[in-house]
């Protein structure tokens, strides 16, 4: 896998996650990568391990499942449109193929059962869930965050293996003479119904100048806008349960809507690198009144 191919596929992934409701055809995404359409399909499949069409459909359906869980008053047809489906019937068909039930049934099954069985396949995260289950969420601030330019490494899986992209970024910063202090994590997946090994995470570090070379480490801009901002601290295993409480308890009662963008975490103390496994973070959930 060449560094050029890796960088261009990352450009495609960035476009997909920024524009889920938009036109994500092979032709359009090939122009993003500056490839022919057949070459994009071959390269994407080789790097990502699945076809471009399958990836787009999967991330759209995962976002729709999220919105159905946490936005009980939003009509299914509106969720379908926001996730790139203009036909309710086609959305219902592919949703049923992915999750085994129609969107309305999914919503009913998930109401009131957002987090209890979410982390059964990780002993440390399950213990963290049990520890914070009866604790109250801190009050959030609503803040209009600025966009942030970052260098990043993508990672598949939520777990201790996330240490690897952080160490890679740390080594890259040292080699490039860059500041490693502004550490940001992006959570693309909801581990309530996505197996932890299949969740998508991005380790990022703030940068003040453009990358001269791209490959495993790439660059992008994290969108700004209105965010509900929570401060959490604890030990490894407790952060994902805290995030689950925000989405299952605070969000439905807030009157706000979760935008189809990944939540971000500012690490003031990074439990993946900390010798005592301690975290101190700011969790930023992108929200809107509409």
Which structural domain, as residue segments, surrounds residue 68? 3-110
- CA of residue 68 relative to chain centroid, distance: 17
Q: Is 194 helix (H, G, I), strand (E, B) or coil?
A: coil
Can you spell out the DSSP letters for 4-66?
A: HHHHHHHHHHHHHHH-TTS---HHHHHHHHTS-HHHHHHHHHHHHSS-HHHHHHHHHHHHHHH
Looking at the structure, tell me whether residues 178 and 101 fall in a common domain. no
In a domain, 281, yes or no: yes
Q: What is the CATH number of the domain that holds 168?
A: 3.20.80.10
In a domain, 133, yes or no: no
In a domain, 175, yes or no: yes
Q: What is the pTM of this model?
A: 0.85
- CA of residue 238 relative to chain centroid, distance: 18
Looking at the structure, tell me whether residues 146 and 267 fall in a common domain. yes
Q: Which segments of the chain are extended strands (E)?
A: 141-145, 148-156, 183-187, 200-206, 218-222, 225-235, 257-258, 263-269, 278-288
In a domain, 65, yes or no: yes
Looking at the structure, tell me whether residues 244 and 189 fall in a common domain. yes
Taking Cα atoms as reference points, which of 138, 289, 125 lies closest to residue 192? 125
| Distance of alpha carbon 255 from alpha carbon 243, whole angstroms | 18
Q: Are 113 and 202 in contact (CB under 8 A)?
A: no
Taking Cα atoms as reference points, which of 230, 203, 233 lies closest to residue 284? 230
Count the domains in the chain. 2
pLDDT tens-place values along the chain, 290 residues long: 567 888 899 889 889 988 888 999 999 999 999 999 999 999 999 988 899 999 999 999 988 998 898 777 889 999 999 999 999 999 999 999 999 999 999 988 876 555 545 566 788 988 998 899 889 999 999 999 999 999 999 999 999 999 999 999 999 999 999 999 999 999 988 877 788 888 889 999 999 988 888 888 999 889 899 999 999 999 999 999 999 889 888 998 898 988 878 899 999 999 999 999 999 999 999 999 88
């Amino acid at each position: 896998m060449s560094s050029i191919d890796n960088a261009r596929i990352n450009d495609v992934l960035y476009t997909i996650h920024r524009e889920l409701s938009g036109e994500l055809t092979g032709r359009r995404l090939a122009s993003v990568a500056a490839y022919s359409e057949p070459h994009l399909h071959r390269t994407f499949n080789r790097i990502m391990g699945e076809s471009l069409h399958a990836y787009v459909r999967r991330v759209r359906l995962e976002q729709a499942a999220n919105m159905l869980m946490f936005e009980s008053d939003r009509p299914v047809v509106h969720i379908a449109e926001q996730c790139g489906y203009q036909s309710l019937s086609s959305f219902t068909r592919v949703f049923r193929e992915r999750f085994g039930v129609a969107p309305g049934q999914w919503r009913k099954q998930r109401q009131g059962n957002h987090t209890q069985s979410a982390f059964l396949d990780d002993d440390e995260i399950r213990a963290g869930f049990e520890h914070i289950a009866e604790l109250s969420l801190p009050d959030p601030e609503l803040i209009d965050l600025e966009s942030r330019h970052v260098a990043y490494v993508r990672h598949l899986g939520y777990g201790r293996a996330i240490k690897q992209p952080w160490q890679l970024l740390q080594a890259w910063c040292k080699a490039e003479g860059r500041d490693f202090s502004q550490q940001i994590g992006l959570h693309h997946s909801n581990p309530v119904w996505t197996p932890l090994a299949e969740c998508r995470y991005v380790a990022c570090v703030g940068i003040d100048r453009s990358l001269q070379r791209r490959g495993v480490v790439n660059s992008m801009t994290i969108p700004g806008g209105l965010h509900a901002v929570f401060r959490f601290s604890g030990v490894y295993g407790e952060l994902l349960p805290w995030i689950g409480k925000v989405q299952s308890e605070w969000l439905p009662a807030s009157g706000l809507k979760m935008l189809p963008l990944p939540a971000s975490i500012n690490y003031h103390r990074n439990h993946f690198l900390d010798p005592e496994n301690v975290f101190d973070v700011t969790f930023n959930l992108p929200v809107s009144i509409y």
